[in-house]
Structure 1
Amino acid sequence: MSSLLTDRFGRNIEYVRLSVTDRCDLRCFYCMPRGFRDFEIPEHWLSFDEIERVIGAFARLGTRRVRLTGGEPLVRHGLPDLARRLAALPGLEDLSLSTNATRLARHAEALRAAGIQRINVSLDSLVPETFRQITRGRLDKVLDGLMAARAAGFRPIKINMVVMKGINDHEVEDMVEFCLEHGFTLRFIETMPMGDTGRNASDRYLDLREVRARLARRFELLPGVMPGGGPARYVQVAGTELRIGFITPISQHFCDTCNRVRLSVDGTLYMCLGQEHRFELRPLLRSGCTDTELEQAIRDAINLKPERHEFTEKPEKILRFMSMTGG
C-alpha cells in the first residue's frame, strides 16, 4: 500500500518522527539551553493510548516508518510498552529509535524485544572532556549503551555526529575508525539555526562538503545506500562494510524529497523543521473525535507542509529549540 498522504508538492509523506518527551538528561549546547526549565507539563503529553491512536491513523493512511525521538525518549517511563504497541499496528513496517544512549545499557534488550529494529545514537565526540563540554554528560555511559545495543542485536546502529568547527571537527577521522572497529554506520550532520541555541552555535557551522573532501583524501569512498527514510547521502568506504552519511540541511538542502512530519509530545504536528507550519491534534483527540475525523485532520495538516525551509534566508525565524520539536 502506497502512502495516501501526498502534500501540495507531490511528496509522499510516509515517515513520522514521534517525540515522546521534550525532556533530556543531557544539555547539548546547540540543542537546549543549560538552564532551560520551560518543559511541557505532563497533563499536555499525549498518553500512550492517544499516541497509538494517532500513529494507527497515520498507518491506515500509508505511513510505514515511525521513529521514537525526544528530547531523550528513554526518560519517558514505559517506553518499551509503547514500542510494543506501535510495532503491532497493521501496516507499520519500520520502528526505530533516536537516543543519546545514556540509559540504553539497561533498556536495550527490552526495546529490541518490543519491536524496535534500528537505533540512532547521538555521539559528537570520543574525548571525554570534549563530550562533557558539548553535553555536560559522561561519555562512558554512552559507550556502554552502544555496546549493549550491539549485544542485543540491533542492526544497523547509526552514530550521529554534529560536526562543529573548532569543537570536534578534528575528530572526524577518529570517528570513522571507531565505527569501522565496532561495525556501526556513521552520519555527519550540519548544525542548524534552531532557536537561540542553534543560532549561537552558527559560528561553529562547517559545510560537510569540506569533511567529505577530507575523508576522500584518506579513504576510497564509493557510492553507497542505506535502508531507511532519512535524508542522508551515503558513501561506502571501499573494502569495508562502513557507510558514511552526510546530512546537509544548510549546504545542500533535501527539501524536494522530504517525506516526513514530526509529532511533538503535546500532540502538535510540525510539517517542517525550519518553518512554523503546525497542526494541533490534542484538542481533537480529547474532544472525542472519530477515527474518520482524525484521519481527515491529518490530511488537512499535510496540506500545510511548505515547499522548503528558510534556514539560510531567515535563520532567526524558528524560536523553538530542537528538543521541543522532536529531533
Structure 2
Amino acid sequence: MTPYDNIAAAPQAALSGKPLVDGFGRTVTYLRLSVTDRCDLRCVYCMAEHMTFLPKAEVLTLEELDRIASAFVGLGTRKLRLTGGEPLVRKGMLDLVRSLGRHLRSGALDELTLTTNGTRLADFAGELADAGVRRINVSLDTLKPDLFRRLTRGGDLGKVLAGVAAAQAAGLSVKINAVALRDDNAAEIPDLIAWAHGEGCDLTLIETMPLGEIEADRTDQYLSLAAVRREVESFWTLEDLPLSTGGPARYVRVAETGGRLGFITPLSHNFCEACNRVRLTCTGTLHTCLGQEDATDLRAVLRDGADDAELARVIREAVLGKPKGHDFEIARAQPAVTRHMSTTGG
C-alpha cells in the first residue's frame, strides 16, 4: 500500500463546477506548488547565505501536497508546476510526481512540470519523463564555472550541464531561465542566448525581484530587460510571437539562431493584467500574488479536518480576493514582500 492509496483517483465532484475566477474576472488555471523551502545552492539574489530552513512539522506532507493540488485540478487548474527551493531535494518527490500524473492520464490536467536548478537532473530525468513530465525549466545564470560558483555560493556548473543533457536524452523539453544581473552576467547574455538556442533550448530572461532580505543591494543588481532587448536588437533580428506557456513571459524568435527568447519583466513592465497563477508554499500558505503579502493558510484547513467541499470553498474565497497587481519597486528600501523566493516557490 502506498501513501496515496487513500487519495481519490480523480478530483471529487464536490470540487467541480464554476471555474476559479478572481474579483477582476481573471480565471486561475495555473498552480505553482512549492514542495520544499530547502535547496542545495544559495543563489545570491534568492536567499541569504546562512538560511534557517523550516522544521519538518511545518512543511506539508506529500499526501497533503497531493490533496491540495488535486483540489485545484478539480476547480479547473490545467497546469501544475512543482517548485522549491529545489524540488528534487525533497525526499519522496518522485512518488508525488507519479501520483499527480493520474490527472494527466484522466485528462483533467494538461501539464505537470517543474522548475529546478539542474544539479540533480542527471539522477531523476528518466523517472520524471516516465511519470508524465514533458517540459522543465532549469535555472542557469552563467556558463562561466567561477562565476556560477560565486553566484550560487559553491555550485558546480558541470552538474547542471550534465542534468540538461540527461533531461534532453530522456525526451524532456528544456527551457533555461536566467536572472539578468547588471554587475555579473549582463555582458554574457548574448552568449547565454546563443548557447541555449544551440542546444535546442528556449531561454527566458528575468528581472531580479525584490523578495526577502538578502545581503546584496538589489538596486545594484537590477538590469532592465527593456534595455537588454534594445541591445540584443542591435545585432539580432527579434520577431514578436503570440506564444504563451501559461506564465508571464513575452516571447520573441531570434531570426539568426532560430530559437525563442522570453522576457519576464515584473519591474520594467507590469504583467498582471492577464495573471492566471497562484502559488502554494510548502507550508500550505496560498499566495494569490507573488508581489503582495496576501496569504491563506490551507495547512490549517486540512489539519482541522476539512472535507473536500470546505477546502474548495476556502480556495475559491482566497482567489476571489486576488490583488489586481503586484507591488514591486526595485528602489524601495525594504523588499516588496519579506518572504524569500525559496519559501514562496519559484
Normalised TM-score (structure 1): 0.96
User: How far did 1:44 drift?
Assistant: 1.9
Which residue of the partner structure matches residue 319 of structure 1? 338
Tell me the distance in 2 between the aligned counterparts of 1:29 and 1:71.
Answer: 14
Give the counterpart letter for 1:233 in structure 2: R
Pair 1:105-2:136 in alignment = no
In structure 2, relative to structure 1, the CA distance for the partners of 1:142 and 1:225 (3 Å cut) is: farther
Aligned length: 325
SS at match of 2:188: helix
Kept in 1: contact 2:183–2:220 (CA 8 A): no
Say whether residues 1:292 and 2:309 are aligned partners.
Answer: yes
Q: Percent identity?
A: 49
- 8 Å contact from structure 2 (residues 197, 260) kept in 1: no
Distance 2:166 2:135 in 1: 13
Spell out, residue by residue over 1:128-162, the C-alpha distance to the aligned partner (whole angstroms, 9 max, x if none).
Answer: 0111111021111100000000100012x110000
Report Cα offsets for 1:28-53 as digits up to 9, x if no partner. Answer: 0111101112x121112211211111
Cα distance in 2 between the residues matched to 1:198 and 1:97: 28
2:203 is aligned with 1:189: no
Query: Which deviates more, 125-134 or 235-244?
Result: 235-244
CA distance 1:292–1:199, shift in 2 (3 Å): farther
- Secondary structure (helix, strand or coil) at the match of 2:31 reads strand
Matched to 1:15, the amino acid is Y
1:50 aligns to what? 64
1:227 and 1:254, CA in 2 relative to 1: closer, same or farther beyond 3 A?
closer
Q: Does 1:175 align with 2:175?
A: no
Match of 1:120 in 2: 137
The residue matched to 2:213 in structure 1 has which SS?
helix
Q: What TM-score do the two structures reach when normalised by structure 2?
A: 0.90
CA distance in 1, matches of 2:47, 2:123: 25
Task: State the match for 2:99 in structure 1.
Answer: 85
Q: Which residue of 1 aligns with 2:232?
A: 215
Runs of 4+ aligned structure 1 residues displaced above 6 Å come to none
What's the CA shift for 1:227?
Answer: 4.7
Correspondence 1:1-327 to 2 at 5 A: 4-37=19-52, 39-89=53-103, 90=106, 91-136=108-153, 137-155=155-173, 157-197=174-214, 200-238=217-255, 240-312=257-329, 316-327=335-346
- Per-residue CA deviation, residues 198-253 of structure 1 (Å, 9 max, x unaligned), is 87223110110111111111211112244521110000012654100000000001
CA distance in 1, matches of 2:255, 2:323: 38
User: C-alpha displacement at 1:88, in angstroms?
Assistant: 0.7
Give distance in 2, aligned partners of 1:192 and 1:67.
20
Cα separation, 1, equivalents of 2:31 and 2:57: 23
Aligned residue identity for 1:27: R
Q: Which runs of 5+ in 1 are unaligned?
A: none
Q: What is the alpha-carbon distance in structure 2 between the residues aligned to residue 316 and residue 161 of structure 1?
A: 21
